[in-house]
Amino acid sequence: MLPHENQHAPSVPGSAPLPHQDNASPKLPPAPVGGTHPPVVPYPGGTFYSPEFIELLESSIQRVINEHTSGALMLVSVTNLAMIINAYGHDTSEIVIHDLIRIIQGMLREGDVVQRLQRDQLGIILTNSYPEDAAVIAGRIHTTIQNFGRDNFATAALYIMGAIGSVSFPLETTSAHDALDKVYVAVSSTQDVPYRTFDMTRAEADECRQQMGLANYLFKAFKENRLRLAYQPIIKSKTGETSYYEVLLRLVNQTGKISSAGALIPVAEKMGLIDIIDTMVMEKVIEELRQAKDLKLAFNVSNLTTDNPLWLEKISNLLRDNPDVAPRLIVEITETAAHRDLRRTALFVASLQSMGCQVALDDFGSGYTSFRQLKALSVDMVKIDGVFIKDLAQNADNRFFVKILLDFAQGFGLQTVAEFVETGDVAKTLMEMGVDCMQGYYFGKPLNHRPWLKEGGYEAD
């Protein structure tokens, strides 16, 4: 229950009414001190914040500079306001914001200001306040947000989620627009913590620029058709024959030099490009299989792709048009995908298998998949993480662990592949241990041409 009186909330359809003081229709409380609530559209000059608030912030910054003190700008974001609107409607969402403003006002000192800046954001200007003071107030606001609910025995509690950011002035900023930018960065960086001050270092800023630059570089390579496939053989342990090839992504720069694109995959995931990358690779792989009827290929998908039903729809449509391809197609997922959401990953695996594809669990052993998880996933093969393979011949502990992994997988009737096989001694040890297939530089590096053709190149691209 809120720590103040005169609470009002509209009834939730289909349930007992939420408690309020009388039976009259709830009314929104009066606008809080500090001005009206502007719409969420840019004001003249391109700012999303009211000119009045910016002017007030600018004057506060100049005052603390002149008085040789310190102040802070805080941004409080109600991160689940859309959920509240969806569950209880517009009126309740407005009551939440107004009540939150009233509570925060009670925490502030004379001269401090709280205003609503956007639909789900409150701005707080603290004068004569040092960083440690802002941290105390942020802690109180966070506690208020956590405890904010209208409990009723017949209904679930209304629950608020929030994020709080702050920036100190003049220590970290000396202008209103810069302060608003930095506090926005701070509140957008909270993630697993409810409160964060703006403390981005020059190195972090450089990293942001680098990641955006790499994302642009990758997207440009995609648009210019400079992303290519390379192929590494996977060898049958008993016969030495090539069982299939794993497809790896390569990038051709403007001078024609080919390099691995593996280092760019985390950037693609973070910057929202992995969908087009995984779709492009899937389409190219299916086209290779369509042209070479005796070929078998495997390719990796991102953990994010296992959550993407549109990707499944695309591959389903392509395989429907090329029914002979699916039995020769292996899709590799990682152990971390299973740990993120076992149920969703199991559905992804089952969907691919229903199309006729095989699914391999990559990096097996790195995440210590349990019997329950392996059974739930029902993959067709596992690829033992190369970190346990590289020094297998000399490392007794790794031999013991790999043997356990092999027994574990074979107990489920799964094919096994050992990665990073780089020497003959390691290959011999694995053969003696009963691994089904091996992959690594000892048998062949990834090739930038189609090894099953007499002449390589990218004529078909």
Task: Please choose, from the candidates 250, 249, 302, the residue with its C-alpha nearest in 3D space to the C-alpha of residue 275.
Answer: 302
pLDDT tens-digit series, residues 102-140: 989 988 888 899 999 988 999 999 988 888 888 888 888
236-259 confidence digits (pLDDT tens) = 999 999 999 999 999 998 888 999
State pLDDT tens for residues 390-449.
889 899 999 999 999 999 898 889 999 999 999 999 999 999 999 999 999 999 999 999
Give per-residue pLDDT as tens, 341-392: 888 899 999 999 999 999 999 988 876 666 777 888 899 999 999 999 988 9
Altogether, the residues listed in the chain come to a count of: 461
Q: 302 with 267: CB under 8 angstroms?
A: no
Asked whether 36 and 115 are in contact (CB, 8 A), the reply is no
Question: How far apart, in whole angstroms, are the C-alpha atoms of residue 323 and residue 331?
Answer: 16
Residue 35, pLDDT score = 43
Q: Give the other-Cβ count within 10 Å of 382's Cβ.
A: 27
Measured CA to CA, the distance from residue 455 to residue 95 in angstroms comes to: 71
Q: How far is CA 48 from CA 33, 38, 52, 75, 414, in A?
A: 20, 9, 12, 14, 57
Query: Do 198 and 136 meet the contact criterion of CB atoms below 8 Å apart?
Result: no
pLDDT score of 15 more than 60: no
The span from the CA of 286 to the CA of 318, in Å, is: 8
Which amino acid appears at position 95 of this protein?
I
Q: How far apart are CA 66 and CA 170, in angstroms?
A: 10
Query: Could you please report the per-residue DSSP string of 251-262?
Result: EE-TTS-EEE-G
CA 217 – CA 452 distance, rounded (Å) = 31
